[in-house]
Structure 1
Amino acid sequence: MEKAADALHAGFDLGRGPLLRAALFRFGEARRPFLFLTAHHLVIDGVSWRILLDDLDIAYQQGVRGEPVDLGTKTTAFRDWARRLAEHVAEGGLDHEADHWCEALDARPLPVDHQVATPGPEIGTVPVELDERDTEALLRSAPTAYRTRINDVLLAALALALSRWTGQERVSVELEGHGREDVLDGVDLSRTVGWFTTMYPVSFELPDLPDGGLADWRGLVKSVRRRLRTVPGNGFGFGALRAFGPPGLRERLSRHGDGPQIVFNYLGQWDARSAESQGGLVHAEHGSFGQDHDPREGGSHLLEVVGAVQDGQLGFTWRYRPDVHERATVEAVAGDFAEALRRIAGDCRGTV
């Protein structure tokens, strides 16, 4: 199954298509069939997968009942949205954010183990995982205890780990957003499939590193939350200005070497969902399957941290370049990140 999935992942041709592929694995009567879906990232993002799976389930149930497939009214097409966005930026709709994003690109480089000028070996990965008890505390208790969102808590732990690694009070991270902000009038993206993902830089100041005490952890999370609240439009404007802004601003925001060298993305919960009682198509979701990245493709950052909740456990994969960082280095930073999350989870269990 892994081999078949890898072949489908690697078989896309942007010039000819198709950019969506599927495979159905059958195991006889002992197990349910396994439906594998993969699409090139150019045409789909995380929110789009939810839309696609919902549409597939609706169409399946309508077909089972012998009804014509009806997925409702079409929402704004990706192409129309992109054209409207370009016009909005050209008319100066996001000019007020320019100074913020130029300042946000002032990021300090990460420490490296090797200085190289040529591509090195394939990308390495370091996984870290929390148990169900800590995951439950972070998902259910932390937002109440700290009056914040789970993403703020995750970023607080990441900022702490990066600060301890770099020895700097200021650390910078590239973040990903869903990119479907309500910016344009008359646009509805609620059921639109496409790659809307936004990426934007954020810096955090950590003058006082926590030692695990209640006040320290709360102070850390609060400082991260406060910093994130200063980001205009949930980061939407950074990519829009870099693509469609005035030439001088586009050059400044796209300058090679500027900005954070680590990107963070929390994908949410890929937990199993039961549909048996409703006769639905999907009984459980596996999440990522097979190699969804070419291991020879180094990416635009030295480190990529991607995580989700699967089967009740929060896990993250740290992708790194072995020609720049030793595995032991990445394991140490990833371990600090995971330990900070465990300490925060323990703090929440003891205070809620």
Structure 2
Amino acid sequence: MTSYDALLLVSFGGPEGPGDVIPFLENVTRGRNIPRERLAAVGEHYHLFGGVSPINDQCRALKAAIEADFAAHDLDLPVYWGNRNWSPYLTDTVRRMRDDGVRRAAAFVTSAYSGYSCCRQYLDDIDRARAEVPGAPRIDKLRVYYDHPGFVEPAADAVRDALAALPADLRDGAHVAFTAHSVPMSQPGRERYAAELADVSRYVAAEAAPGHPWDLVYQSRSGPPSQPWLEPDIVDHLEKLHAAGVRAVVAAPIGFVSDHMEVKYDLDVEAAQTAERLGLAYARAATPGTDPRFVAMVRELLTERATGAPGRPALGSLGPRPDVCPSDCCVREAP
């Protein structure tokens, strides 16, 4: 049995005021030579919400919920939180863990899938933070959990609720658009990422929307037009559905664990405005957030890893990912 003395919550981070927006976006795009004008354009998405991303407050709420769940199950472990791109930065959190005497921690990241940006980049972030902190604790990232019941079941309930929110006379013919963050076609692990998304979308559609047509679509692409990314885009998809005579759509952000900026802007503003312009009835499904099943999943993943328990829960057809990714899995080549 592996002995852990802390849990580390690792997330993306986001600005918490107007003055944070451009510095945050510079952190996100570091080394990619993104023009300043492009950063300013993306920054307007944040300024629509007062320059504040919801993700940090959501992490605070998730951390508090995990702590309460641990206490309710007599699991005496402190919970720390560190971000990739904004305060509290991961390196600062690892330093605090070391100073608190933590020797070995498990890391739960707010990304459910495989692939470079969903998994490998977080592993690299953890390695980089540890390298910057002499005497840093060992940190083991918990496995990919896109098909764990604690993620899938809240997603299915959210689709049911969104369908129920549509006008009754349009509900039966509604289409479900499962959405996820697009990535470049060249990104390592892209095939596995897309396969996992399709697998869990298929499962949720069968459980929550039997008989409803569904598609897997993407959002939030940020690369130049010349660079191929996963498609179709949600806005283009809505246009296509409208042209085909569809009258109602549910957007289900299956690729996300909480309502952060990509969900709030791309789905609640851009896609919603497109649907309104087209005359489509539109409902957006919720993300797991702090659903008690999702919170309990964190503890279950930790216990599973610590004990090496067999029979790990996994819905869908692909089966759970390994506890430890191979060292060459989804590695991005140096530029």
Is the structural similarity TM-score above 0.5? no
Q: Which has the higher contact order (CA 8 A, sep 6+)?
A: 1
TM-score (norm 1): 0.25
